[in-house]
Amino acid sequence: MKEQFYNYIQALQNTITNKLEAIDGKAKFQEDPWVRAEGGGGRTRVIENGAVFEKGGVNISAVHGGLPKSMQTYFGVEEADFYACGLSLVLHPKNPFVPTVHANWRYFEMYDKQGKMVDQWFGGGQDLTPYYLFEDDVKHFHSVCKQACDKHQPEFYSNFKKRCDEYFWNAHRNEARGIGGLFFDYCKANESMDMKAWYNFVTEVGDSFLDAYIPIVLKRAETPYSQANRDWQEIRRGRYVEFNLVHDKGTLFGLKTNGRIESILMSLPPHVQWKYNHHPKEGSEENILLKVLQKPLNWV
């Protein structure tokens, strides 16, 4: 399973970065292969200062070795060995009318000290963070997510949509990071889904990513914008930073387990603003977005 899934994310990284470069037309991904001292490594691909993408990363990694102490505590297990691989991506477009997107698909195995596999699971998801609300875009993104889910289990979309809203909640701001999408974790073999069925589901979601996001990019990337639109985008990017540094388990995990810092923090936006006590005017486009973030809706 681990080879199969790692092959999958390698190919998916190529597919996604090729497509994004073709759309951007100006910038290319810079590739940084890296090695983890304790075992494994990754292939980070970052794009900067593009015509469409101001900053973004599409990274894969496969790491293994002894489970770090902090992860033992986190998982509530004794000493163990692990294998983890996944693809993580974040794209920060330049145009404030094009949403930021994040996606991640990962696979985890745990072994006892005799090398016997004792646990395995998939996790991941994809979610959208717009700066202005276009209902059509949000409905499109969620529809693609739902179609991918519906091929597998009827309750997946509503369950994983709900978990996404819960996970990407910026508790100290009392608002969602974005308009959600899918989030799933600890997807283990059970009565209705064996690991092969989970693999089929997770790769279905991975395969749906470009369909979910690219039509929105193509539709909005040429929209004219003002400095005020751009300021708002940069202020909202501040909330993205707050979520990733204060609440995101994946980020904190990486920072505390000696992950490759630059690959983890590629998720942070290129230009960001913090204004004191900034509140958009009642009834403004900016305020309409906030209302939706404060109370996540069902879109499909």
Cβ–Cβ under 8 Å, residues 103 and 125: yes
Is residue 252 close enough to count as binding a copy of itself by CB under 8 A? Answer: yes
Characterize the bridge pairing of strands 81-93 and 180-187: unpaired
Q: Judged by CB, which is closer to a copy of itself: 113, or 279?
A: 279
Q: Judged by CB, which is closer to a copy of itself: 54, or 137?
A: 54
Catalytic residue among 92, 102, 142, 152: 102
Torsion of CA 153, 157, 162, 165, to 10 degrees: 140
Nearest distance in Å: CB 69, a copy of itself:
15
Token representation of residue 190 = 């059970």
Segment 169 to 188, residues that bind a copy of itself, using CB under 8 A: 172-173
Segment 264 to 293, residues that bind a copy of itself, using CB under 8 A: 265-266, 268-277
Nearest distance in Å: CB 37, a copy of itself:
14
End-to-end CA distance of the chain: 33
Is residue 21 close enough to count as binding a copy of itself by CB under 8 A? Answer: no
Is residue 50 close enough to count as binding a copy of itself by CB under 8 A? Answer: no
Is residue 77 close enough to count as binding a copy of itself by CB under 8 A? Answer: no
Instruction: Tell me, by CB under 8 A, how many residues bind a copy of itself.
Output: 31
CA distances to 121, 127, 257 from 113, rounded to whole Å, are 19, 37, 20
d(CA 26, CA 48): 10
Characterize the bridge pairing of strands 175-176 and 100-111: unpaired
Is residue 242 close enough to count as binding a copy of itself by CB under 8 A? Answer: yes
CA distances to 10, 159, 271 from 77, rounded to whole Å, are 30, 27, 40
d(CA 253, CA 243): 14
Is residue 261 close enough to count as binding a copy of itself by CB under 8 A? Answer: yes
Does 102 participate in catalysis according to the annotation? yes
**Contact residues for 182 (Cβ-Cβ < 8 A; gap 6+):** 124, 125, 126, 127, 145, 149, 157, 160, 161, 164, 205
- The 25-44 contact track toward a copy of itself, x by CB under 8 A, reads -----x-x------------
Which positions are catalytic? 102
Interface ranges with a copy of itself (CB under 8 A):
30, 32, 46, 48, 55, 57, 172-173, 234, 238, 241-242, 245-246, 252, 255-256, 261-262, 265-266, 268-277
